Structure 1
Amino acid sequence: MKKNVFALVSSVAVLGAALAGCAGGQQATTDPKPAEGTTGQQPAAPAEKKPQVLKLNLHSEPPTADPGISEDTTSAAIIRATFDGLTRVDASQQPVMSVAESYELSEDMLTYTFKLKDTKWANGEPVTAHDFEYAWKRALDPNTASNYAYQLYYVKNGEAFNKGTASRDDVGVKALDDKTLEVKLENPTPFFLELTAFPTYFPVNKKLVESNPKWAAEASTHMGNGPFKMETWEHKSKLVLVKNENYWDKDTVKLDRIEFAMVEDENTELSMFENGEIDWAGSPTSSLPTDAIPALKEQKKITTQAIAGTYWYKFNTEKPPFNNVKIRKAFAYSIDRQSLIDNILQTGQLPAMGAVPPSMALKPDGFFKDNDVETAKKLLDEGMKELGITKLPPITLSYNTSEAHQKIAAAIQDQWKKNLGVEVKLENKEWKVYLEDMHQGNYQIGRLGWLGDFNDPINFLEMYKDKDGGNNDTRWEHPKFKELLNQSATEPDPAKRKQILLEAETILMDEMPVAPIYFYTNSWVQKENVKGVVIGGLGDVDWKWASVE
């Protein structure tokens, strides 16, 4: 999901920790029966079960709860809890039918016909195929300005409509009736059932959306069709979800409530966990304080899982000096990634020497060397001569507020000063503001991350296909790179397709609009009585099957 992940050790791992015992109340009890032959009192009625409440922390305010414009992991966590798609990824990491009851795929693999179950919105109204058609076309509509619109380009004429060269009616999604959705694709897409489990493909209620443009901004007007519904949203303070009694699979949902605090400080969050105020700390909705990780590891309280995600710094390629490729490469090559992992991150991350993570790597050994200072100095000198300058302009490195991001930025700031003789100013901002500034190009170097939406290299490359693409904050574009991505979409031979994508990633790393830093792991601690939280290999989280025993 977008996976402009805010957390340091985020967008897909699981940490299971053993603290605190059961939070009581799940086993009914009765008074002992009187001895045989006596006239003792009648046994007491079974005690009522206590509500199952899961308490968590969101590191920051979700920028949105609207699946059509969602682009980050914080928003996606709330949206996955409150919405449901045609498919849903289960605990085994496979897409299974959810709102869809079944589907048929044409022989040419270009047309899906989905049959829908009888499901409802949280207010009891039926969810129909028309809601899906409306939602997909809404996300593609250029007026919606969805940064994830390109995720729907697999649908016939999706890209053309988004770019103004086709009409809404030309888009290959159509409700044949209330319970039948026909989807025509541009090309065979083997991972399409994974995509239909992604927030951009979720339905929205047309009547609500058109009657209230701000419907997703408050709990009182928010409405989904998922396992939970929003009860409270005190902005930047608290968010509460409660079980949705109109959910089609409500009998599977064990939690009665999910209560989120919104605390940015990781040390405070960990203290809340240790004090019993929350049941989980760290990924995927926040991160653990780096200073606490050694002790948590020693106490065997921490769980760490590798996820398909890349932490990188983006360069604004429209502004000097990073409009020069050699200067971009100099900054990227002079980072000592392994020292960041050993001294700050400490949870098994891998140095990123390419854009695509290990689970789908095209070139496992990478495209450049870590901490290659000699080459970096040479490139910096050459780049400055090409720009006709003897001194770099002021350089600012931006990141969203987080202890870990700050430590990484400070360490890299020191490395650039030591290795290149460059003075760099650090700047941090609150997540929502930071994300908007990145999209508007109000930065020079900016931290972001990407967690895979599906396990295919195209997902890590396609965001840089178009200069004005929704998630391409670098403003970089390359005609050959674009041509290769288009070619990969129509290549049926997997080996040939992989070679095409390798050639594309080679161009990306040679041009270096982004400097990959490390491949993610998720790390967290959780109470022993929290069960069934599904954390996927792509960094997403689903509480549908969770319980507090």
Structure 2
Amino acid sequence: MKRRLATTVTSLLVLSTVLAACGKDTETTSNEPKKDKKQTLKLTTTTEIPSMDSAKTTDAMSFEVLNNVNEGLLRLGEGDEVVDGIAKKDETEISDDGLTYTFHLRDANWSNGEPVTANDFVYSWQRAVDPKTASEYSFILYYVKNAEQIFNGKLPTDQLGVKAIDDKTLQVTLEQATPYFLQLTTFGTYLPQNQAFVESQGDQYGLEADTQLYDGPFTLSEWKHAESFTLTKNDSYWDKDTVKLSEIKYNVVKDTSAAVNLYENGDIDKVMLDSEFVDKYKDDPEYQTQLDARLVFFRFNQKLDLFKNDKVRKAFDLAYDKEAITTAILNDGSKPANWLVPSEWVKGPDGKDFREHNGDFNKYNVEEAQKLWAEAKKELGKDSFELKMLSYDDTTRKKAAEYIAGELTKNLPGLKITVAPQPFEIKLDQEKKLEYDFSFSGWGPDYPDPMTFIDMFISSSAFNEMDYKNPKYDQLVSDAKKEADPQKRWDYMVQAEKVIMDEAGISPIYQRGRAYLQKDSVKGIIAHKFGGDFSYKWATNEN
């Protein structure tokens, strides 16, 4: 998922911090029932929410919030296990050939009191693949029959393989058997939408707290753009008795030291740390670390002649020390990345981690980088270049970007780089429009399979966003998507990663880790390795 994110939801790519406060109940007499203590969780994030329209959302922060204020057929629980959502997991029927899924919906309501029906899923999915919507995430529905043809204008939306048998029964037909389809249904683009409400809001849908409906554990009750937003327990939620938090308050805080000060003052229950604070707190009993599956990398805009040259791209990839970034700047459990598909994340049919197949690519080597750079400059007929590096504007990632810019400038003679930090929404827009030279970017997985990283860089992908084109790569990805044999499919993906990394189509920087402090009073926050970064349905804050 895009930059989530990151995230989503979100440290290093989307650093997050979480805070808590408790309300005091009024005393009751012995004859009155004791009231539940109000539980408030306060969070900070480094980014605004770009959009709450699940058909158009692309970033981690939006997906994190959507994951908590809305609910699809199923949702993710502890350990990323699929659990009940609007549909009942144990009642889901799957045909013998794995192509047809029948979901049975429970009685559930939208926040305006209207029932959530099978038609809400049909409408939402059709809207997401309708070319008029121009959804960048339409591709994640291509598993559903005819979705890709509809998005490409070859079929009408009513030919999508999703049908409401009745208000409580949804039938889905797939293009091919997809073993992780239940996990896909937990993703943001698969959320339902109420057609009458969406159409009544027009182009304002999902842009304000009151221009969307909610069917999840919380509602977005207040949204002060670029400043703060608040989630409030949804009393219309079917499983409201499980939800213990009364509200979750987010404030946008881009500076790590400011967030740490809030924690020190007792206003924050969870704060993400960077290297400046890790050494100070690493022996604190409230200190924790966690490796996730988010990849941080450089996009090279290959519309530029400079980055069309594979020697230039490889020189950039070899010329900076990724180990120094993870140890000296981040120091939060992140690990250097010399590959596209993260480590310690998914295993293949042979039981091996994906990284065991390809190992590392393009490891730090200044001498080789300088050799390639010199050859490239001759080929390009130019000896000096001035570039802008598009970057995030939070403290940690700005430091990392500035360090890398310095290393590239030092190690590649004739290169001058200016770091251009941008607010999250502006950065996303510039990447989408290819209005940059090269970009400090990131991607978090949408489902538990290597394809969620690999198909991002095919020529037709909306998230390619750098004009990378390689027919061999496209063919390998296509072959993998059509292959029914699990091991052959896996092998195609292994080969595809080798193609893009051998020519440095991207420059991976690190696999994100999270280092944070969390108060003992906070329990039950579930972190996910794909989809929305965090679930707060089961969280408590009793202090």
- 2:385–2:416 contact (8 Å) kept in structure 1: no
Show the counterpart of 2:350: none
Q: Distance in 1 between matches of 2:517 and 2:284?
A: 11
Question: Of the candidates 232, 242, 262, which is equivalent to residue 222 of structure 2?
Answer: 232
Correspondences of 1:122-201 after superposition (within 5 Å): 122-201=111-190
Alpha-carbon spacing, 1:386–1:362, altered in 2? closer, same or farther (3 Å): farther
- Taking the aligned partners of 1:212 and 1:349, their CA distance within structure 2 comes to 42
Structure 2 partner of 1:402:
394
Map Cα deviations across residues 516-541 of structure 1 (whole Å, 9 max, x no partner).
Answer: 01111122222211111111233710
Describe the superposition over 1:270-329 as per-residue Cα deviations: whole angstroms up to 9, x where unpaired.
Answer: 1112212232222xxxxx343112112132432111111211011001113111111011
1:111 to partner: Cα distance: 0.9
The corresponding residue for 1:384 is: 377
Q: Does structure 2 retain, via aligned residues, the 8 Å contact 1:351–1:518?
A: yes
The separation in 2 between residues aligned to 1:43 and 1:150, in whole angstroms, is: 59
Q: What's the counterpart of residue 237 of structure 2?
A: 247
2:418 match: 425
* Superimposed CA distance per residue, residues 359-406 of structure 1 (whole angstroms, 9 cap, x where no aligned partner): 23534463424211122112212222222x232331111102011111
Contact 1:12–1:535 (8 Å) recurs in 2? no
| Residue number in structure 2 paired with 1:312 | 297
Q: How does 1:73-92 map to 2 (within 5 A)?
A: 73-92=60-79
Alignment TM-score, normalising by the size of structure 1: 0.91
CA contact (8 A) 1:12 1:540 kept: no
Q: Is 2:335 aligned against 1:343?
A: no
Residue 275 of structure 1 aligns with which residue?
A: 265
Instruction: Name 2:276's counterpart in structure 1.
Output: 291
Identity %: 36
SS at the partner of 1:143?
coil
| Deviation, structure 1 residue 175 | 1.3
**Which letter maps to 1:330?**
A
Q: Which has the larger radius of gyration?
A: 1
Q: 1:165, 1:386 → 2: CA distance?
A: 43
| One of 49, 52, 61 as aligned partner of 2:48 | 61
Aligned to 1:478: 470
Corresponding residue of 1:33: none
Aligned partner letter, 1:477: K
Per-residue deviation, residues 218-275 of structure 1 (Å, max 9, x unmatched): 1122212100011111111121111111111111111111111112222111111221
Which residue pairs with 1:118 in the alignment? 107
* CA–CA distance in structure 2, aligned partners of residues 210 and 46 of structure 1: 44
Q: Would the alpha carbon gap of residues 267 and 328 (structure 1) be closer, same or farther in structure 2, given more than 3 Å must change?
A: same
Task: Tell me which residue corresponds to 2:253.
Answer: 263
Distance 2:222 2:355 in 1: 47
Structure of greater relative contact order (alpha carbons < 8 Å, 6+ residues apart)? 1
Q: Which residue of 1 aligns with 2:2?
A: 2
User: Superposition RMSD on alpha carbons, in Å?
Assistant: 2.3
Q: Is the 8 A contact 1:474 1:514 kept in 2?
A: no
The number of equivalent residue pairs is: 527
Is the CA contact (8 Å cut-off) linking 1:4 and 1:448 kept in structure 2? no
* Residue aligning to 1:330: 315
- Do the aligned residues in 1 keep the contact of 2:300 with 2:307 (CA within 8 Å)? yes
C-alpha contact (below 8 Å) 1:488/1:500 kept by paired residues: yes
For the Cα contact (< 8 Å) 2:43–2:270, is it kept in 1? yes
Shift of the alpha carbon at 1:427? 0.5
Decide whether aligned partners of structure 1 residues 12 and 185 sit closer, same or farther in structure 2, where only a CA change above 3 A counts: farther
8 Å Cα contact 2:337-2:508 kept in structure 1: yes
The alignment status of 1:93 with 2:93, answered yes or no, reads no
What is the CA–CA distance in structure 2 between the aligned matches of 1:407 and 1:231, rounded to whole Å?
35
Q: Secondary structure of the equivalent of 1:216?
A: coil
| Corresponding residue of 1:219 | 209
Cα distance change of structure 1 residues 541 and 10 upon mapping to structure 2, 3 Å threshold: farther
How far apart, CA to CA, are the structure 1 residues paired with 2:14 and 2:524? 15
Alpha-carbon distance between aligned partners in 2 of 1:207 and 1:260, rounded to the nearest angstrom: 30
Stretches of structure 1 that go unaligned for 5 or more consecutive residues are: 31-41, 283-287
Counterpart code for 2:11: V
TM-score (norm 2): 0.92
Are 1:520 and 2:503 counterparts?
A: no
